[in-house]
Amino acid sequence: MTHTARGVIVSLVRQMCRRRVARVRRPAPLAPLAVLLPVALLLAVGCGGSTAHPADSASPVLVPSSPAPAVVAAHVNGEVVTRAEVERTIDFSRLSSKRLSYSQALEATIRSQLLSHEAARLGVSVADSDAGLQARLAQVAASLGGTAVLQQSLAVVGLSLADYRQELRAGLLAERLGARKFPAAVAGRRQALAFYRAHRGQLTTPAAVWLAEIAVKTRSLGQAVIDRLRQGYPFAGVARAYSMDPESASSGGVIGWVVTSSLPQPLARALIAARTGVVVGPVAAVGEWHVLKVLGRRRAHTQPFAEARPAIVAQLTVERRAALLSAWLAKARARAHVTFGS
């Protein structure tokens, strides 16, 4: 996966950090690059040296009170590229580790249009109702904790879910075009095994505990919780009565699967030593006192190569075809008749 793709992932995942603990997620299936990387950014790689465009230093465009004609940024083989399209490419670049300048975004948008024309010529398309597109959007949303989290992350850079759906559509279109133009470019077992050995950490579920917790402000309150539990009161009822964390209190103290190594050291040490079903604490951490109960354990587990291989081959194949498509696109760009402005 490219550095840009990782930048997209990191920028979005930052929006979902929890206050005290990191919930466990099983390793997500390795997704084709287009799932996470807007195609405009993928195609912009390597074109950062393009000639600066006057619009790089242009003043902000004032929004008139009545609709105005679209501002033309360029003509590509007679087709219009609008400034709004270029600015949307810039907005999407803000999700990655590198924001594009206007001239870079314009070049990326031109290339995206050339790609769309080639797809139309070969009869490759992705409808808004395409099942693959809907699955991609659902996969991204699920990996981030839900559609609401995705929408919040996009809103930070002024984008909507509809904008992101269109960018995923462009990515899926590029993937299908690559498959049509380069069907023989398929990753083999040797490449898949090398990738697996280099990325085993991404395919490993870390050791975790199914945790219930009651968090209180003082040690004396923590001891009061322990005393109530020793008197036979149910953990769920005590959690609802005492816990200062509204979320865990409402669930009877049950936090869910938690990666042990993600917790503050005092809590991690207590949980490693704790027996399943036995209450421990109170333990001081993060300015609070915690009464803990391990409800279950899960050992660290690495996905076997045989199980991971199909997804790895799919990802490497997409990346190989994307490289070939990018090379083809560079030649198409050199042949294209492009004029700037209206």
241-286, pLDDT tens digit by residue? 888 888 888 888 888 888 888 888 888 888 888 888 888 888 888 8
Please give the structure tokens belonging to residue 161.
Answer: 């879910």
For the purposes of burial, counting CB atoms within 10 Å of the CB of 282, is it exposed (0-12), middle (13-18) or buried (19 or more)? Answer: buried
| CATH 1.10.4030.10 location in the chain | 3-20+27-57+71-201+304-340
CATH number belonging to domain 3-20+27-57+71-201+304-340: 1.10.4030.10
Residues in the chain: 342
Q: What is the pLDDT of residue 97?
A: 63
Q: Please say whether the structural domain 207-299 has been given the CATH code 3.10.50.40.
A: yes
pLDDT, tens digit (0-9, with 9 covering 90-100), for 132-188 = 899 988 888 887 778 888 888 888 878 888 888 888 888 899 999 999 999 999 999
Contact partners, residue 38, CB within 8 Å, separation at least 6: 8, 89, 92, 95, 167, 168, 170, 171
The segment(s) of the chain belonging to CATH 3.10.50.40 are 207-299
Assess whether the previous peptide bond of 54 is cis (omega < 30° from 0). Answer: no
State the pLDDT at residue 69. 59
- The pLDDT of 43-68, averaged and rounded, is 43
Report the Cα–Cα distance between both ends of the chain, in Å, rounded: 38
Choose among 35, 8, 13: nearest CA to 138.
35
Strands 338-340 vs 288-298: parallel, antiparallel or unpaired: unpaired
The per-residue pLDDT of the chain, averaged, comes to 78
Tell me the pTM.
0.59
